């Protein structure tokens, strides 16, 4: 079975999170879960982060943007990752924690 473009982005992102030793998960949306929650939520070196993965020219929905705004207002780091920046996740997290890039 072929992997969707968004699944490829998620795979590249999660590999970097694993390599960093970051805690992360994919929230369940629906049932008891909330709608609009970013695809990947986690913590790295004390920094709460949330990543919305997209492919191609896809954009975040208004509800996704609202959730990301709430997280940012609470002091978390949020961003949208696609094919153009999917290899920069580790660098972004390190920079947010003030660590030197590798």
- Write down the H helix ranges in 21-74: 62-73
Note whether residue 16 is domain-resident: yes
pLDDT digits (tens, 9 = 90+) for 40-56: 999 999 999 999 999 98
The model carries a pTM of: 0.90
Query: Domain range spanning residue 92?
Result: 5-96
Note whether residue 36 is domain-resident: yes
Note whether residue 25 is domain-resident: yes
- Name the 3-class secondary structure at 10: helix
Q: Rounded to 5 degrees, what angle do the CA atoms 18, 7, 9 make?
A: 60
Q: What phi, psi does 93 have (nearest 5°)?
A: -65, -45
What's the CATH number where 9 sits? 3.40.1350.10
According to DSSP, the residues that pair with 49 across neighbouring strands are: 42, 77
Cβ atoms 96, 76 nearer than 8 A:
no
Is pLDDT of 31 > 90? no
């Amino acid at each position: 079975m072929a992997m969707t473009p968004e699944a490829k982005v998620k795979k590249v992102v999660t590999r970097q999170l694993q390599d960093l030793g970051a805690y992360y998960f994919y929230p369940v949306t629906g049932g008891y879960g909330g709608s609009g929650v970013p695809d990947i939520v986690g913590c790295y070196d004390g920094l709460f982060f949330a990543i919305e993965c997209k492919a191609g020219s896809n954009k975040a929905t208004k509800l996704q943007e609202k959730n990301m705004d709430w997280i940012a207002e609470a002091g978390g780091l949020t961003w949208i990752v696609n094919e153009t920046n999917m290899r920069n996740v580790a660098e972004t997290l390190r920079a947010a924690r003030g660590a030197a890039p590798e």
